[in-house]
Amino acid sequence: MKFIDEATIQVIAGKGGDGVASFRREKFIPKGGPDGGDGGSGGSIFAIADRNINTLVDYRYARLFRAKKGGNGRGSDCYGKGGEDIILRMPVGTVIKNTATNDVVADFLHHQQKVLLAKGGAGGLGNLHFKSSTNRTPRQFTYGEPGQEFELKLELKVLADVGLLGMPNAGKSTLIRTVSAARPKVADYPFTTLKPNLGVIRIDHDRSFVMADIPGLIEGAAEGAGLGHRFLRHLSRTRLLLHLVDMAPFDENIDPVYEVQALIEELRKYDEALYSKPRWLVLNKLDMLPEEQRDQTCQSFIQKLNWTDRYFKVSALTGEGCQQLMYDIMDYLEQHISAAGDDQ
């Protein structure tokens, strides 16, 4: 299935049915009173989060959703039928915004979370409501109200605990293949990842976390270079970022220190909140370095970068160092969740 993480839709709730002016007419009752019924309410449009859906492809081409109008009232105190509601199912992680105001209408974080997108119009009143001691033959009635109408932007942000960040060909897809059952495309050229991939890392039977792999970022992404910032939103919900670094670039002119600094700057330009997230360095592709040079090369890199946070030395291809990295991530996440719970 094609991965679609953006869509714009228009929702139009149903108009309420009109009330009616009617009078009771039966044999032997020549002057029956008013009996005009109300119009039915127009159909509303709801959205509901569904964990069985993982893309917005259903809203890529079907962009207009119009609920049915309510039925008109009739005589003999008959009320009009209400219009049927429409329920739109969307992936968990979808953010719905009003394009006119940019206000967030809904942020789906849980399965079966439900929100009203557009309310159907109220039905009009029949003349039954206007009778009184001084107005015994009311001919007044009201028309149904129009339903709400909005243009909405849908943005999907995948829900993951850990996000992989790095230049193209840094080995992000290889890492997620090694530590999970996810099978993203892997090749010896940049930009093999064209859509986000999720992998579940299971430490033991009751301890696991979700890792997200997004397409590589390059310098100038803020100006649209490469795939730009389109997929960075998928890291916004993560608790921890792993910044993968290619320690054995195919081009000798590539400086890993400069690449790390450039990517961090792109992150800062995109979103200060994402830039401020905890970020660990993962020095990858150690299998391509001579064994006697690995420690010295990594230490020199850390010193040039002036990195003071945590870093790990791994080979995503052979799995070296990956298991310990996963254990440390699990410990960190459990401590983070525990601390968040204590604060609440």
Q: What is the pLDDT of residues 197-249, one digit of tens each?
A: 777 888 887 788 888 887 655 555 545 544 445 667 777 788 898 999 888 88
Total Cβ atoms within 10 A of residue 106: 21
CA distance 274 to 271: 5
CATH number, span 1-156: 2.70.210.12
Model pLDDT, residue 338: 58
Please give the model's pTM, rounded to 2 decimal places: 0.71
How many Å is the maximal CA-CA distance in the chain?
Answer: 111
Domain ranges of the chain: 1-156, 162-343
CA distance 284 to 343: 36
- Site of tokens 């228009």: 10
Model pLDDT, residue 263: 84
- Site of tokens 């942020």: 107
Token pair for residue 46? 């709801």
Determine the topology of domain 162-343 in CATH: Rossmann fold (3.40.50)
CA distance 343 to 232: 28
Strand arrangement of the beta sheet that strand 311-313 belongs to: 197-204, 207-213, 162-166, 240-246, 279-284, 311-313
CA distance 240 to 164: 9
> H helices of the chain, where?
58-61, 172-179, 256-270, 272-275, 294-305, 322-343
Q: Are 72 and 80 in contact (CB under 8 A)?
A: yes
User: 34: which strand partners?
Assistant: 23
Residues of the chain with pLDDT under 70: 1-3, 181-196, 215-231, 337-344
Name which of 185, 280, 196, 282 is nearest 232 in CA terms: 196
CA distance 261 to 244: 12
Model pLDDT, residue 188: 44
Name which of 217, 156, 153, 106 is nearest 2 in CA terms: 156
CA distance 284 to 244: 6
